[in-house]
Amino acid sequence: MQSVAARPKTVKPALPASTSTLAVQGQPDPAGAAAADDLSWKQLLAEAVRDAGDLCRMVGLPEAVAKAASEAQGGFPLLVPRGFVGRMEQGNPLDPLLLQVLPQPAEQEPQPGYVADPLAEQGRLAAPGLVQKYEKRALLLAAGGCAVNCRYCFRRSFPYSEAGVSQAGLRQAIAAIAADVSLEEVILSGGDPLLLDDDRLSAVLEQLESIPHLTRLRIHSRLPIVLPERVTERLATRLAASRLTPLVVVHANHAAEIDASVAAAFRRLNAAGVMLLNQSVLLAGVNDSLESLAALSLRLIDCRVMPYYLHLLDRVTGAAHFAVDDARGVELHEALKRRLPGYAVPRLVREIPGEPSKTWISGA
């Protein structure tokens, strides 16, 4: 989610120290378990693909595709974990997972109506990294990086450092949340909040849990999809043990993203008692067919994840080639309602800056 300079950065995390504090109070923490967990996902993140040539070689595409992608990435670099690449179809330049991460020449063509901050979030900062758009809820930008750079991301140009997404900014934002007794729910977003390592995430959770007027904690993360190893049993247990009701909203756009490793990450969260929802973006060439959307919803339901939102694309610079027009979106959604049981149909929504909630284009 995504000018000036900063955007979901290429993240090369430091490998962890030997201990972690993401322990659940009163439960034993076997020595070294936390460090091993951290080592695994941080190592995988450090090994993510950052070069178009490498990505194209891995999926069997010609050098010409890699060259075009390299030239098209502009200030939003290619970044994708190897596990996600492994779910792509070999030799298929139109693979729906590949299209989400491979820079395209069309990104460089200016399109009227497409802007750097399509949701006008930079004008809605109540404190550093704290976006307040909706009643009783606040969005805390807890991290300025992601494990994947999605080419359609509405925050692809978001100036995280200027917006105060930092340790110091986080302290000010949490103080602002504590001072606003109208708030009931905090949404951790980013970037990707699960890129915070266990120590830092635990510190944020403890501070939020100590604020009496909060009742719910929502985490928006694509890590369970692109780097499911981040969802350790320790993480799931810690979230479930919170005094705040925990909800995790994952982000999958296509059924092929949900392989056995992702399903296992969902199981860990489900088994711990964390509620799971999914949000998707309707993307041309990726999931703009009835078959694709129905398969995604059914795969999610079979993994005990509720399809929540299907977003119409936010008009961010560089993403116009992903747009599906509203009429086609409604047509697909109506067909989805006929095809699936009601509980499997996400709400079709658009976010309109200044509106007090998401706008339902077509209800479930």
Residues in the site for ligand SF4, rule: CB under 6 A? 1-2, 8, 146, 148-150, 153, 155, 190-192, 222, 251
Q: Min. distance of Cβ 149 from ligand SF4 in angstroms?
A: 5
Q: 315: which residues sit within 8 A by CB, 6+ positions away? A: 113, 114, 115, 118, 323
Q: Min. distance of Cβ 341 from ligand SF4 in angstroms?
A: 28
Q: Which is nearer to ligand SF4, 150 or 208 (CB)?
A: 150
Q: Do the strands 137-141 and 185-189 form a parallel or antiparallel pair, or are they unpaired?
A: parallel
Q: Which two tokens stand for residue 115?
A: 């802007």
Token look-up 């060259």 returns 67
Specify which residues 281 forms β-bridges with.
311
Q: Which is nearer to ligand SF4, 42 or 156 (CB)?
A: 156
Closest CA to 73 of 98, 49, 108: 108
Q: Which two tokens stand for residue 95?
A: 């693979």
Q: Which is nearer to ligand SF4, 116 or 150 (CB)?
A: 150
3-state secondary structure of 94: coil
Q: Min. distance of Cβ 298 from ligand SF4 in angstroms?
A: 23
Q: What is the DSSP letter of 257?
A: G
Q: Which is nearer to ligand SF4, 189 or 202 (CB)?
A: 189
Q: Would you give the distance in Å from CA 100 to the centre of its chain? A: 13
Residue 345: count other Cβ atoms within 10 Å of its Cβ: 22
Q: Which is nearer to ligand SF4, 118 or 190 (CB)?
A: 190
Q: Min. distance of Cβ 222 from ligand SF4 in angstroms?
A: 4
